[in-house]
Chains A and B, each alone.
Chain A
Amino acid sequence: MDAFINDRQNQILTKGKDDAAIACGKASVAGSVSQRACVFCGSRVVLYPIADALHLIHGPVGCAAYTWDIRGSLSSGPQIHRLSFTTDLKEKEVVFGGEERLYKALISLIDTYKPKGAFVYATCIVGVIGDDVEAVCRRVTREKGIDVIAVMSEGFNGTKKDGYKIACGALSKLIGTDTTFKAPEYSLNILGDFNLAGELWMLAEYYKKMGVNLVAAMTGDGRVDDIRKAHTAQLNVVQCSGSMIGLAKEMKEKYGIPFMKVSYFGIEDMSDALYEVAKFFKSDEMMEKARALVKEELTTLLPALTQYRQKLEGKKAAIYVGGAFKAISLVKALRLIGMKTVVVGSQTGNVDDYNLLKEMCDDGTIIVDDSNPNELSEFVKQTGANLFIGGVKERPIAYKLGLGFCDHNHERKEALAGYEGMLNFAKEVYASVCSPVWQFMK
């Protein structure tokens, strides 16, 4: 490990060898090719799926150009979120300020696209040139009669996690602003699902079958007006604890809405997510329905999985994803198809997450926080992994080294959540690990 950056030693541990807790939540070391992005990225991914809002990125062109339509978050109606709007600041604004340009940009966009609300993202340079973004947003809110919310997400101001917090702050400005709506009995909000490849629709369907009503999804297939009503739900179910848990906590304090953490990946976690909700509402009928649903799904799913399990038994996987919570589900889901996790890491996990991972994994498993291509490739080699699960940035590393890959990030186009998703996951893993092409790369 000589060539690794020394400062990072305590962000890597091997189960069974290292007893110390992993160091995490640190800023990345300068000069590393981190797989992490910035504060802005964190805010952008959380708010992005709100489909009837205008998302305007205030800054030079790059930050907007690179995030144009990058997520697979689907909308059942408006598609304004898939457009990339930027004030595209030039030298002149950098010297004299960009407030006027921001104002004009907002007005013409709102007049044309008639969004239900607007988010204005401040990127690095805006923090330096000192534009009063909030003042411009207040002014446009007054003039146009829609909520225009400043998202102060200057990239240098922390990590992606801080970006999540800022995005949650923006959401909480909307929540509670619909004062007339009354939620029906048994209603909840889904937090932390972004409707990648239509996953939210699948979940909403499961809940509907149990007799549970969805008030607001944050933010998958999200709508401004639904978010305004979110405070009326009786329960928040939170997935991807990294990005939305803060909002759930805040809503508990402010509106007394309890929350539960769930995961929709893999059979166990998905079923638990349904049972826990039924338990919460203390309805036997609902529990019956949930059991029936799970039973029905499993009668088709389990036999379908067998053939994949047979092929994949004993193969080894390396996981490197954004949130550690997802990593935990993946370890379980892999187990279900006979695979063993030999490397597991995340960009933004916390100590609890890593402790849990350590408990779950076998001895010898390498656990890592905020890794980089050099390290990841080294780990994969050391452990002889057959599969890598990660995001687009890890894909070519896996392929270069001749191992299978499964995309499990914001940009994927396959639904991997729920029962259907579990089958897709098995198929995808199988298609990659068992492809004959690897024979040419040994």
Chain B
Amino acid sequence: MFENAPIIKSTKEFTATRNACKLCAPLGASIAFKGIRGCVPIIHGGQGCATYIRRYLISHFKEPVDIASSNFTEEATVFGGGANCHTAIKNVIGQYKPEVVALTTTCLSETIGDDVKMYIHEFQKDNQLNDLPRFVTASTPSYQGSHMDGFHEAVASAVKTFAKGGEKGTHLNIFPGFVSTEDLRQLKYLLNDFGIDYVLLPDYSETLDNPIWESYKRIPEGGTPVSKIETCGTAAASIEFGTILNFGSLSGRVKNNKLSATGAHYLENEFGVKNYRMSMPIGVKNTDRFIKALEEITGKEMPARYKGERGRLIDSYADGHKYIFGKKAVVYGEEDFVIAMTTFLDEIGVEVVLAATGGESGRLEEQIRENCPERGEQILAKNMFDYEKIREWSIENKPDLFVGNSKAYYIARELNIPIVRCGFPIHDRIGGQRIKHLGYSGTQELFDQVVNAMIQYKQDHSAVGYKYM
């Protein structure tokens, strides 16, 4: 009765994007801004953008996500959004009493050439007597980049706006990129166990994953305080996860705006804070690299607890290796996530056959080759892919496993193969925000899931079923 979409040759070219494997820039910026303490993001554009973005995030985080909109009307579109911007700021301050107001633009406000920085300036001038919150902005037209560009733009902008120079300290800046709330918590545990003083930006581990409340909180607790971000400029070093970040060649952003850089990049240029840029710590190799950097910078040694975690992880690699060796996996999602995940699968003997992203950096292939010594050369790495392209390719190439967010579930279902849900978004399960990916313990959970997915598949498809592995 239900008809699947037609089966189309994967070589057919479409001008349209079909089931996009990316989201728009203000979504990423809003997530990053949610990681600043007391911050309320305002999306400067039509009401729909903010409402859709909230809905999308709520379905993943299962949390109230308050993001205001400046509610563009036709008038604003013709005469400029200054008045709307002004009212929006005023109302957000009145309702939320925020410490920080973050304005993020949209395709619409960028196209009509609204100057948000100027609006803020005017607002501050008009309200000199009042105790105003701090302001930060991000320029996030989606026709120049995806949600990841928006995310990094917001982080960079917060750093550029707040960081100050001064006498060098011993603390570290950690720029984790777009990871889960549980990943952020794990990073904090690790840094605390190491005895390292740090600034983690952004930190939405609480703001987007709160415990229950006694009474409604207009602004959820948690987040990195501005006072901490101010100290980024005097840190001993920065560690930045991700190698693509916002250095895309196709997004137009870098070409248009030579100043655009990540937060860590900016701190290095401006204040000489050494930047350690590396892949997300997923898998033994990537995590080792991260731990080594921590040891090198601080002169401290990895706490015993993590040695145990590492040992158990490698022990389990031995226990599970046979069930996954040579299995063909499709990995998809944000570029830096795909690279790290592919590296991990490469080191455990899973054959990643397709690594796909809707991102547009044009550097995915090069990074996959560099990071995957086992089979990197054979992996098909695709920028600017969408889910229908992934589907068509997969129908022809018959992979054994999908690894990534919940949006490709429909393809896995059609192909009748398992999907290991991780990354963003997870819209069809509870706890997506709590999935652990990073470090030895995050890798452990991913590894167990991948192996068990393959075992379960075999078990379910066996004529008799069996009780031992």
Q: Which residue of A3, A66, A401 contacts B55 across the interface (Cβ within 8 Å)?
A: A66
A105 contacts B by Cβ under 8 Å: yes
Which residues on B sit within 8 Å (CB–CB) of A381? 215-216
Q: Which residue of B12, B54, B213, B388 contacts A401 across the interface (Cβ within 8 Å)?
A: B213
B288 contacts A by Cβ under 8 Å: no
B13 contacts A by Cβ under 8 Å: yes
A108 contacts B by Cβ under 8 Å: yes
A392 contacts B by Cβ under 8 Å: yes
A304 contacts B by Cβ under 8 Å: no
Contact flags (1/0) for B246-267 with A, using CB distance below 8 Å? 0000001000100000000000
Most buried by A among B13, B18, B58: B18
B22 contacts A by Cβ under 8 Å: yes
Report the minimal beta-carbon distance from A48 to chain B, rounded to whole angstroms: 14
Contact flags (1/0) for B77-102 with A, using CB distance below 8 Å? 10000001101111110110100000
Q: Which residue of A6, A37, A65, A155 contacts B20 across the interface (Cβ within 8 Å)?
A: A65
In whole angstroms, how far apart are the Cα atoms of A21 and B67 in the complex?
A: 30
In whole angstroms, how far apart are the Cα atoms of A78 and B6 in the complex?
A: 10
Cβ–Cβ contact B216 & A112, under 8 A: no
Contacts A30-B91, A41-B48, A396-B64; A112 near B12 (Cβ below 8 A): yes
Cβ–Cβ contact B18 & A79, under 8 A: no
Determine, out of A165-173, A271-279, A350-358, A372-380, the stretch whose residues face the partner at the interface: A372-380
Cβ–Cβ contact B216 & A377, under 8 A: yes
Which residues on B sit within 8 Å (CB–CB) of A23? none
Cβ–Cβ contact A65 & B46, under 8 A: no
In whole angstroms, how far apart are the Cα atoms of A158 and B94 in the complex?
A: 25
Closest A residue to B87 by beta carbon equals A30
Which residues on A sit within 8 Å (CB–CB) of B59? 392
In whole angstroms, how far apart are the Cα atoms of A406 and B66 in the complex?
A: 21
Which residues on A sit within 8 Å (CB–CB) of B51? 34-38, 41, 393
A182 contacts B by Cβ under 8 Å: no
Which residues on A sit within 8 Å (CB–CB) of B91? 5, 29-32
Which residues on A sit within 8 Å (CB–CB) of B92? 31
B291 contacts A by Cβ under 8 Å: no
Contacts A31-B87, A91-B143, A129-B111; A36 near B77 (Cβ below 8 A): no
In whole angstroms, how far apart are the Cα atoms of A374 and B108 in the complex?
A: 27
Cβ–Cβ contact B46 & A38, under 8 A: yes
B68 contacts A by Cβ under 8 Å: yes
Closest B residue to A52 by beta carbon equals B3
Cβ–Cβ contact B67 & A75, under 8 A: no
Contacts A31-B70, A62-B23; A402 near B212 (Cβ below 8 A): yes
Cβ–Cβ contact B88 & A75, under 8 A: no
Contacts A35-B51, A62-B142, A393-B55; A156 near B89 (Cβ below 8 A): no
Cβ–Cβ contact B17 & A31, under 8 A: no
Cβ–Cβ contact B15 & A61, under 8 A: no
Q: Which residue of B16, B52, B85 contacts A86 across the interface (Cβ within 8 Å)?
A: B16
Contact flags (1/0) for B327-353 with A, using CB distance below 8 Å? 000000000000000000000000000
Which residues on B sit within 8 Å (CB–CB) of A41? 48, 51-52
Which residues on B sit within 8 Å (CB–CB) of A3? 94-95, 97, 218
Instruction: Using C-beta atoms within 8 Å of the partner chain, give the interface range for chain B.
Output: 35 or more
A90 contacts B by Cβ under 8 Å: yes
Cβ–Cβ contact B14 & A108, under 8 A: yes
Report the minimal beta-carbon distance from B106 to chain A, rounded to whole angstroms: 8
B441 contacts A by Cβ under 8 Å: no
Determine, out of A120-128, A140-148, A240-248, the stretch whose residues face the partner at the interface: A120-128
Most buried by B among A33, A40, A67, A158: A33
A20 contacts B by Cβ under 8 Å: no
In whole angstroms, how far apart are the Cα atoms of A76 and B3 in the complex?
A: 8
Cβ–Cβ contact B16 & A5, under 8 A: no
In whole angstroms, how far apart are the Cα atoms of A105 and B18 in the complex?
A: 10
In whole angstroms, how far apart are the Cα atoms of A233 and B67 in the complex?
A: 45
B459 contacts A by Cβ under 8 Å: no
Which residues on A sit within 8 Å (CB–CB) of B48? 37-41, 63, 124, 155
Cβ–Cβ contact B76 & A156, under 8 A: yes
Cβ–Cβ contact B47 & A36, under 8 A: yes
In whole angstroms, how far apart are the Cα atoms of A113 and B137 in the complex?
A: 42
Which residues on B sit within 8 Å (CB–CB) of A124? 45-46, 48, 72, 77, 106-108
In whole angstroms, how far apart are the Cα atoms of A93 and B17 in the complex?
A: 15
Most buried by B among A37, A86, A104: A37
Contact flags (1/0) for B3-28 with A, using CB distance below 8 Å? 11110100011111111101110110
In whole angstroms, how far apart are the Cα atoms of A392 and B92 in the complex?
A: 23
Which residues on A sit within 8 Å (CB–CB) of B317? none
Contact flags (1/0) for B96-137 with A, using CB distance below 8 Å? 010000000011100110000000000000000000000000
Cβ–Cβ contact B16 & A393, under 8 A: no
In whole angstroms, how far apart are the Cα atoms of A33 and B55 in the complex?
A: 12
Which residues on B sit within 8 Å (CB–CB) of A378? 216
Cβ–Cβ contact A5 & B216, under 8 A: no
Cβ–Cβ contact B52 & A156, under 8 A: no
Q: Which residue of B2, B22, B47, B213 contacts A38 across the interface (Cβ within 8 Å)?
A: B47
In whole angstroms, how far apart are the Cα atoms of A85 and B62 in the complex?
A: 27
A window 329-357: CB within 8 A of B: none
Q: Which residue of B20, B22, B68, B76 contacts A33 across the interface (Cβ within 8 Å)?
A: B68
Report the minimal beta-carbon distance from B226 to chain A, rounded to whole angstroms: 21
In whole angstroms, how far apart are the Cα atoms of A113 and B61 in the complex?
A: 35
A window 98-128: CB within 8 A of B: 101, 104-105, 108-109, 112-113, 124-125, 127-128
Contact flags (1/0) for B382-416 with A, using CB distance below 8 Å? 00000010000000000000000001001000000
Q: List 26 A-B contacts (CB under 8 A).
A: A30-B69, A31-B88, A33-B68, A34-B47, A34-B51, A36-B47, A36-B51, A41-B51, A61-B23, A61-B146, A62-B142, A63-B52, A65-B24, A68-B407, A77-B2, A88-B17, A105-B15, A105-B16, A125-B107, A155-B49, A392-B55, A393-B51, A396-B61, A396-B65, A400-B64, A400-B212
Residue numbers of B with Cβ under 8 A of A are 1-6, 8, 12-20, 22-24, 26-27, 42, 45-56, 58-59, 61-74, 76-77, 84-85, 87-92, 94-95, 97, 106-108, 111-112, 141-144, 146, 210, 212-213, 215-216, 218, 252, 256, 358, 388, 407, 410
4 nearest CB pairs, A to B: A38-B48, A62-B24, A31-B91, A31-B88
Given A94-B143, A397-B216, 6 more pairs with CB closer than 8 A: A29-B91, A35-B51, A62-B52, A129-B111, A374-B95, A400-B63
